[in-house]
Amino acid sequence: MAIMSAALPAPLEGGQHRRPIIAAAIELTAQSGWSSVTMARLAEVVGVSRQTVYNEIGSKTALAEAMVSHELARFLSVVDTAFERHPDDLVEAFYEAVRAVLELADDNLLLQAIASATHGTAHELLPLLTTQAGSLLKQAKAMLATRVPAYRPDLTDEQLTAVIDVVVRTVLSHVMQPSDTPARTADALAWVAARVLGLDTTPPLRHR
């Protein structure tokens, strides 16, 4: 299975080799584990000097953070698309956004590697999505905070912030440990969000 990250545009920061280096690191991690990822190996795979890898990335810790940020951009992109597709229906926007995120997560090799205890990957990378996930949560909540108010929900700013926080944390938990299909999970979360927001839900649950 080819890693999906290769289809992404290059990150805004860094030079022309940053994106290929990050994509190569993700693929190496998925195939052989985080311990197999070295600056020398990345230089060989990408076809650049080891110094170029250091110049573009920095330390291995910075590389891990860049990998997660790279994948996060993909998830935020599908959320943004969902809201663009449903500018007048917040329930449908929530449903499509959650479903797209969970479907993307289901086929994401980096997430699979991080969630797995194999290849010595989980021990070093898992904190980036758990105890050190503040940046992930912050970016995801910031996107929803700019999108949801446009639908004019009948909530105070404090209440809306609380709803967004609960939704983002719940989706992240399902990304890391799915309990049902993406469609059913998205359906349930969209229904819950709609009830909290005081919106009509028709149908109440599409996947029974």
Domain identity same for 54 and 71: no
One domain for residues 80 and 164: yes
Per the domain annotation, does 2 fall within a domain?
A: no
Both 50 and 117 in one domain: the answer is: no
Are 81 and 137 contained in the same domain? yes
Q: How confident is the model at residue 132 (pLDDT cuts 50, 70, 90)?
A: low
Q: Are residues 153 and 110 in the same domain?
A: yes
132 plus 195 within the same structural domain: yes
> In this predicted model, what pLDDT tens digit does every residue of 63-74 receive, in sequence order?
988 888 888 888
Residue 5 lies in a domain: no
* Count: domains in the chain: 2
- How would residue 201 be classed by pLDDT, with cut points 50, 70 and 90? low
- pLDDT at position 108 over 60: yes
Say which CATH number the domain at 41 has: 1.10.10.60
pLDDT for the residue 133: 61
Token pair belonging to 188? 């349930």
Confidence at 40, pLDDT banded by 50, 70, 90: very high
- Is 85 within the bounds of a domain? yes
Domain range for residue 179? Answer: 67-208
User: Which of 1-10, 53-62, 85-94 comes out lowest in average pLDDT?
Assistant: 1-10
For residue 103, what are the contacts with CB-CB under 8 A and spacing of at least 6? Answer: 182
10 lies in some domain: no
**In this predicted structure, what is the pLDDT of residue 32?**
82
Residue 36 has pLDDT above 90, yes or no: no
Quick one: 178 and 117 in the same domain? yes
**Whether residue 169 sits in one domain with residue 137:** yes
